[in-house]
Homo-oligomer: A and B are copies of this chain.
């Protein structure tokens, strides 16, 4: 295996944003970046990405009122693109819309967390099964790269660095590389949306990288099973991986339940 070439491909793939899912950044997307990758960005889509990222990162807290006065000064744009973004986020369950009374960040609750965990597990495991059955060589290569990339950034035990956007992106890339060949755009979109909701819980419950050291090993095992076409084993490993993480998140949620903020 040509190590240098391999690394280069991985690095390049990390630089390229994963269409509309990954760019989690608070800074506005640069126009030239958008154009370079064949996708035009508007203020609306920027608003969508930035607000979602800030919700997932916990900068906008669960239950927080999102007044337009506040948003206009925060994100430096008119109400129209903001409203558009909030509407889409409402459809994804990231914000709540009460007619004539504005928007607020979707509150957190044990019931919602359990719902999110159950749906994410079911959808992602199902998609993984399809993907492993249907995946071709390009998919296998991409999965290998994503897994390796995650290994490279994975924390050592005891690492107290906070989880940041880069870590999130690489982590997310692995999970979507795994299910990317499932063949169903609808299922993929559902997985994207539910994972954003899940990530918010995980991100608030597990702010530092230390706890996420174990998953690197999980990812490698899942990758191995997936690449060898053993979909049953990959699915059960994935289920264990998701359950383990969900257990930690649930337990932490139960202890220090986050309060809505007004």
| A→B interface (CB under 8 Å) | 39-42, 44-45, 80, 83-84, 87-88, 90-93, 99-100, 112, 115-116, 118-119, 122, 126, 183-187, 189-190, 194
Which of A42, A185, A186 has the most CB atoms of chain B within a 10 A radius of its CB? A186
Asked if B119 and A184 sit within 8 Å, CB to CB, the answer is: yes
CA distance A80 to B68 in the complex (A): 15
Q: Which of B40, B100, B122 contacts A99 (CB 8 A)?
A: B40
Please tell me if the beta carbons of B100 and A186 are within 8 angstroms of each other in the complex.
no
State the CA gap A52–B3 with chains docked (Å). Answer: 52
Q: List 10 A-B contacts (CB under 8 A).
A: A40-B100, A41-B99, A45-B99, A83-B84, A88-B91, A93-B189, A115-B186, A115-B187, A186-B194, A190-B190
Q: A187 to B119, Cβ gap below 8 A?
A: yes
Q: Which residues of B contact A84 (CB under 8 A)?
A: 83-84, 87
CA distance A91 to B40 in the complex (A): 18
Question: CB-CB < 8 A to A90: which residues of B?
Answer: 88
**Alpha-carbon distance between A93 and B39 when the two chains are bound, in angstroms:** 19
Contact across chains for B88 and A118 when beta carbons are under 8 A apart? no
Select which of B39, B40, B99, B183 is within 8 A of A39 by beta carbon: B99
With A40-B100, A115-B185 given, name 12 new contacts (CB 8 A): A39-B99, A42-B99, A42-B100, A80-B80, A84-B84, A88-B90, A112-B185, A115-B183, A115-B184, A115-B187, A116-B186, A119-B184
Q: Closest CB of chain B to A101's CB: distance in Å?
A: 8
B91, A92: Cβ atoms closer than 8 Å? yes
CB distance from A165 to the nearest CB of B (A): 23
A119 partner, pick from B87, B112, B186, beta carbons under 8 A: B186
Residue of B nearest to A79 (CB): B80
Minimum C-beta distance from A152 to chain B (A): 33
Asked if residues A122 and B126 are in contact (CB atoms below 8 Å), the reply is: yes
CA distance A190 to B193 in the complex (A): 11
